C-alpha cells in the first residue's frame, strides 16, 4: 500500500527565499561593477585633466585673484600706487523721476566743488553721464538717499595713489583707459599689466621717507623765496638708484581733472637749464685727467675780465688777483675756468660732455626726457663758456649723474627708477681717472668748508659740492634778474654714497635768503637741511671726527679774501 508523503510548506518557502537572495546578489554585483566602471571612468578623466590641463587651469584660477594692474611700492614696501574697486556716480536723465532743478540743488549740496549750472546740465542732458568718478562712500550714500532711480553706482577699477602728491612725477599717472602715461606707470606699463608679473608689486628705487624730506624742504624754500619752481634729486653714486626725485610745482595723480597740466612736467628730466658754475668741477676734472692741470699751485690771471671774440668774460665777485686751482673753485671764477677750458681745447671739452651724455637724453627708464641743447657753433668762445656752464643746457638729472661719476671713483652709470636689491649694479664705464676723482672730492669739500657752499655744510656729514647761479636766457640776451640757482653735491666726501642736486628757478632775494638770490644762499641751505634729516635714513650718520683729508690744499688758500 503506497503512502503519500506531504512536504511541509516551510521547505518550499525557504527555496523561494534562496532564489530571491541569489537574484539580489547578482543584481548587487552588477551594480557594483557598473559603479566601479563609472569610478574608473571618472578617475581616468581626472588623471587626463591633471596631466594635460593642469597648467591652463592653474593659470585661469590664479588670474581670478590677480589685480588688474600691479601695485607700485617704494624700496621698503610702502604702497605708492594700488588698483581698487571704486564707486562712480552716474546719471541716466531719461530715467529720472524728480524735478531737474531740485536734483541739481541736492547734488550741489553733496558736491560743492561743482557748480549748480554744471550739475543741472548733467541731469538735463540726453545721454548718460558721470557726475563723479572715484566717488567717496559718503557721497554715494548721499546721492542714493535722494531716492531717484535715474542714478546708478557702477563699480570700476580705479588707480589709487595713497600718498597723494608724494613722488607724483616719478610715479606718473594713467589715462582714462587705464594705460600708463608718464613716470614709472608709463615706462613699465607692460610689466604692470602682464598676467605673469602683475601679481608681484613693482619696487621703485625711491625711499618714501627721503622723498618726503626732499619735497618738504624744497617746497619750503620755493615758497619762502617766491620762486616759480624747483627740482631736486638724490642718487646712489654706486648703483645709480634714484632715492628721491621731486619737481615743483607738483600735482595729485588722484585728481587730474581740473588740475594745471603744466604741473605734470618733470623738471628733473624734462626741463633744460644752463646750470652755470656747477660745470666748473667737471671742466677742472677733465683738465687734470688730460694733463692740462698738473699742479694745484699753478696760478692764473683773474685780475681783469677776459676779452674774447668781442665778448668779455667776467667774474660775479671779482678777486682781481691771480688764483690757483682750489681758489678758482672756491671763488667760482669764470675767468680762470675759461682760461683752463681754452687750454683744454674744444676736442677734449666736447669729448667730456659726450662721455657724460650731455649730447643725448638722460639715462633713465621714464619716457619724459628732454634732449639737451647742444652748441651749434662750437668755436673757441663756446669752449670757454661751456666750461663754466653757459652755452649748453641740460636737465638736472644729467648733472646729478655727472657728479655721481665725479665722486665715485670716476665710473659713469645710468640712473634707474627700480630697486636693484641683490642685483649687481650696471657695470658702467670710466669717464674720470680714480686719482682725479679723489682730487675732486678734496676740492668739492673745500668749496663747502671755505667757499661759496658754506651754507650747505651739514655738521658731521662731510658735504662737498658746487654752487651755480646762472642767468636765464631770453629775448635779446640773458636776463640779469632771472636766475637758476643750483647746488650739486655729494656726501660723505671721505666715502661718497649719495649725490644730491637742488635747483630753484627764479628765487627772489628777500629776508629768507639775506637778500641774496645766488645758489650759496638759496639752494645750498636746502641741501644742508635735507642731508641732516635724510642722511640717517640712508645710513649716513654725522661724525665730526671724520673728513676727507685736504691738508695738502689748505696752505694754497688765501685766507684774507672774501668768498661769495
Query: For the chain, how long is the longest CA-to-CA vector?
Result: 169
236 vs 499: CA distance, rounded Å: 7
Contact 276, 486 (CB under 8 A): yes
Q: Quick count: other Cβ atoms within 10 Å of Cβ 510?
A: 13
In this structure, the strands spanning 202-203 and 72-73 are parallel
Report how far apart, in Å, the C-alpha atoms of 117 and of each of 191, 194, 331, 449 are.
43, 43, 62, 62
Q: Is 41 left (phi over 0), alpha (psi -120 to 50) or beta?
A: alpha
Beta carbons within 8 Å of 23's beta carbon, 6+ residues apart: none
Spot the catalytic one: 205, 247, 267, 277: 277
Distance CA 232, CA 234 (A): 7
Note whether 207 and 244 are within 8 A (CB): yes
**Strand segments (E) across 25-118:** 72-73, 79-91
The residues with which 167 forms a beta bridge, in sequence order, are none
Contact of 279 with 470, CB cutoff 8 Å = no
Distance CA 278, CA 264 (A): 26
Q: Are strands 477-491 and 202-203 parallel, antiparallel or unpaired?
A: unpaired
**Nearest CA-CA partner of 517 in 274, 227, 278, 314:** 227
Identify the residue whose cell numbers are 663756446.
382
DSSP 318-359: ---SEE-HHHHHHTT-HHHHHHHHHHH-HHHHHHHHHHTTTT
Give backbone dihedrals phi and psi of 467, rounded to 5 degrees, phi first.
Answer: -80, 155
Q: Comparing C-alpha atoms, which of 265, 122, 234, 285 is closest to residue 535?
A: 234
- Cβ contact 551:445 at 8 Å: no
Contact 558, 297 (CB under 8 A): no
Q: Cα(462)–Cα(534) distance, rounded to whole angstroms?
A: 14
Does 277 participate in catalysis according to the annotation? yes
The set of cell numbers assigned to 62 is: 590664479
Distances (CA, A) of 232 to 297, 485, 537: 35, 12, 17
Which sequence positions are flagged as catalytic? 277
Amino acid at each position: 500500500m503506497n503512502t503519500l508523503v506531504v512536504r511541509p510548506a516551510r521547505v518550499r518557502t525557504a527555496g523561494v527565499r534562496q532564489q530571491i537572495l541569489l537574484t539580489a546578489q547578482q543584481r548587487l554585483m552588477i551594480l557594483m561593477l557598473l559603479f566601479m566602471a563609472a569610478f574608473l571612468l571618472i578617475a581616468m578623466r581626472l588623471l587626463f585633466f591633471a596631466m594635460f590641463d593642469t597648467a591652463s587651469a592653474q593659470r585661469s584660477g590664479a588670474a581670478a585673484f590677480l589685480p588688474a594692474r600691479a601695485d607700485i611700492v617704494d624700496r621698503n614696501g610702502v604702497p605708492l600706487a594700488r588698483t581698487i574697486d571704486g564707486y562712480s556716480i552716474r546719471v541716466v536723465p531719461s530715467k529720472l523721476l524728480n524735478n531737474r532743478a531740485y536734483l541739481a540743488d541736492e547734488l550741489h549740496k553733496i558736491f560743492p566743488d561743482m557748480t549748480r549750472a554744471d550739475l543741472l546740465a548733467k541731469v538735463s542732458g540726453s545721454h548718460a553721464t558721470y557726475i563723479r568718478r572715484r566717488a567717496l562712500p559718503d557721497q554715494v550714500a548721499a546721492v542714493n538717499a535722494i531716492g531717484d532711480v535715474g542714478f546708478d553706482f557702477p563699480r570700476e577699477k580705479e588707480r589709487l595713489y595713497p600718498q597723494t602728491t608724494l613722488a607724483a612725477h616719478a610715479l606718473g599717472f594713467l589715462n582714462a583707459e587705464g594705460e600708463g602715461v608718464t613716470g614709472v606707470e608709463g615706462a613699465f606699463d607692460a610689466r604692470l599689466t602682464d598676467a605673469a608679473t602683475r601679481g608681484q608689486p613693482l619696487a621703485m628705487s625711491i625711499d618714501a621717507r627721503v622723498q618726503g624730506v626732499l619735497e618738504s624742504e624744497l617746497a619750503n624754500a620755493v615758497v619762502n623765496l617766491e620762486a616759480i619752481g624747483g627740482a631736486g634729486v638724490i642718487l646712489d653714486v654706486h648703483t645709480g638708484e634714484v632715492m628721491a626725485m621731486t619737481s615743483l610745482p607738483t600735482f595729485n595723480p588722484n585728481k587730474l581733472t581740473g588740475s594745471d597740466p603744466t604741473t605734470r612736467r618733470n623738471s628733473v628730466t624734462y626741463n633744460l637749464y644752463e646750470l652755470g658754475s656747477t660745470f666748473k668741477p667737471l671742466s677742472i676734472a677733465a683738465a687734470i685727467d688730460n694733463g692740462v692741470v698738473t699742479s694745484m699751485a699753478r696760478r692764473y690771471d683773474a685780475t681783469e675780465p677776459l676779452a674774447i671774440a668781442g665778448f668779455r668774460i667776467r667774474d660775479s665777485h671779482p678777486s682781481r688777483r691771480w688764483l690757483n686751482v682750489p681758489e678758482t673753485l672756491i671763488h667760482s671764477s669764470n675767468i680762470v675756468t675759461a682760461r683752463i677750458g681754452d687750454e683744454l681745447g674744444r676736442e677734449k671739452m666736447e669729448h667730456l660732455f659726450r662721455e657724460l651724455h650731455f649730447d643725448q637724453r638722460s639715462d633713465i627708464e621714464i619716457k619724459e626726457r628732454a634732449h639737451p641743447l647742444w652748441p651749434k657753433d662750437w668755436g673757441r668762445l663756446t669752449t670757454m663758456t661751456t666750461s663754466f656752464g653757459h652755452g649748453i643746457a641740460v636737465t638736472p638729472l644729467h648733472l646729478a649723474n655727472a657728479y655721481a661719476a665725479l665722486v665715485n671713483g670716476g665710473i659713469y652709470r645710468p640712473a634707474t627708477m627700480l630697486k636693484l636689491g641683490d642685483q649687481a649694479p650696471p657695470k658702467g664705464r670710466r669717464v674720470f681717472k680714480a686719482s682725479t676723482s679723489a682730487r675732486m672730492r678734496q676740492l668739492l669739500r673745500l668749496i663747502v668748508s671755505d667757499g661759496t657752499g658754506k651754507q650747505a655744510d651739514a655738521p658731521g656729514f662731510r658735504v662737498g659740492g658746487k654752487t651755480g647761479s646762472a642767468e636765464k636766457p631770453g629775448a635779446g640776451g640773458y636776463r640779469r634778474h632771472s636766475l637758476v640757482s643750483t647746488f650739486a653735491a655729494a656726501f660723505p666726501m671721505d666715502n661718497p654714497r649719495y649725490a644730491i642736486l637742488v635747483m630753484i628757478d627764479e628765487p627772489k632775494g628777500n629776508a629768507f635768503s639775506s637778500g641774496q638770490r645766488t645758489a650759496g644762499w638759496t639752494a645750498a641751505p636746502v641741501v644742508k637741511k635735507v642731508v641732516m634729516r635724510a642722511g640717517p635714513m640712508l645710513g649716513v650718520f654725522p661724525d665730526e671726527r671724520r673728513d676727507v683729508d685736504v691738508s695738502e690744499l689748505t696752505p694754497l688758500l688765501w685766507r684774507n679774501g672774501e668768498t661769495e
